[in-house]
Amino acid sequence: MSEDRQRIGIIGYGYIGNYVYEQLTSRPELGLEVAFVYNRSREKIAALPPEIALEKLEDFASKGADLIVELAHPRITQEHGTTFLQQTDYMPLSLTALADAQLEQQLLETARRHDTCLYIPHGAVVGMDALEEGRQIWEEVRMVMKKPPRTLDFSASPQFKAEEIRAETVLYEGPTRGICPLFPRNVNSHAAVALAGIGFDRTQSVLVADPRLEVSVIEIEMRGQGVEVKVQRSNPMKGVSGVFTLVSSLASICRAKGPRSGLQLC
């Protein structure tokens, strides 16, 4: 059976990367195996088996991954995304990188030319199927995200200071393309909604910091031709990521590369 298992390369061994590695290596029923793990700070992966811990990302091709999953930073896609897609399939979780229209086009063009696949994980966004299926009919897609200020990374938006936000504060309202460079580590689900539905320029994003919140709340509304869908999801946070994001990311990897038989949602 082992020789049939698809091999997964993991970039980023933090909150999500650690979970994905543990699950893939401890649950043979998932039918996948880990090809490599790469992390910028080497000490984090020092305890992993030497054949799994990848020292230089440039050597990724020697590990024969069937899918590379980025669980680290948007910079990975900017710097290596097209190189990965020349060799194998690629699933970035830090989707804000794709708000750069030129990079998105380069990635898609490379995937087309090399017959590889760019996977967009739903990252705990509920309703991606409806967003994609209704692309032709949605006249309006709007996403409101509310987060505790302590979970936001303000390094690309120094005009705001987390400790000075004492009441509900709107940090951004406008097209999704504009919010991605301002909060690249926090608004990946906005990018996922844009990619699934009507794109970065037509999707509207609102980001609210609320110090009274303990969880991350997203509300998505899609409207068009009399059809209306409203989704609300609440997710406890650890660092920049939500708890539901763990199971959702693993499920995306399994759906992309896991063995397929028996009951399947479609």
Ligand X SMILES: NC(=O)c1ccc[n+]([C@@H]2O[C@H](COP(=O)([O-])OP(=O)(O)OC[C@H]3O[C@@H](n4cnc5c(N)ncnc54)[C@H](O)[C@@H]3O)[C@@H](O)[C@H]2O)c1
Q: Which residues bind ligand X (CB under 6 A)?
A: 11-17, 39-41, 44, 71-73, 75-76, 93-95, 123-124, 185, 188-189, 192, 239-241, 245
Q: How far is the CB of 125 from ligand X (least distance, A)?
A: 6
CA torsion 183-187-193-198 (nearest 10°) is -10
User: Rounded CA gap, 254 and 27, in Å?
Assistant: 12
State the first-to-last Cα distance of the chain, in angstroms, to the nearest integer: 25
Residue 7 or 73 having the CB closest to ligand X? 73
* Neighbour count for residue 3 (Cβ, 10 Å): 4
Q: How far is the CB of 166 from ligand X (least distance, A)?
A: 26
Work out the widest C-alpha separation in the chain, in whole angstroms: 57
- List alpha helices for 137-198, DSSP H: 176-179, 188-196
CB 157 within 8 Å of CB 183: yes
Residue 142 or 185 having the CB closest to ligand X? 185
Q: How far is the CB of 73 from ligand X (least distance, A)?
A: 4
Q: How far is the CB of 226 from ligand X (least distance, A)?
A: 30
Residue 60 or 138 having the CB closest to ligand X? 60
CB 66 within 8 Å of CB 40: no
Residue 176 or 189 having the CB closest to ligand X? 189
Q: How far is the CB of 127 from ligand X (least distance, A)?
A: 13
Q: How far is the CB of 123 from ligand X (least distance, A)?
A: 2
Residue 15 or 160 having the CB closest to ligand X? 15
Token output for 128: 């991606």
Instruction: Specify burial of residue 138 (Cβ count, 10 A radius: 0-12, 13-18, 19+).
Output: buried
Residue 214 or 228 having the CB closest to ligand X? 214
Instruction: For residue 78, give Cα distances in angstroms to 110, 191, 200, 239, 247.
Output: 13, 15, 17, 23, 26
> For ligand X, which residue has the nearest CB?
14
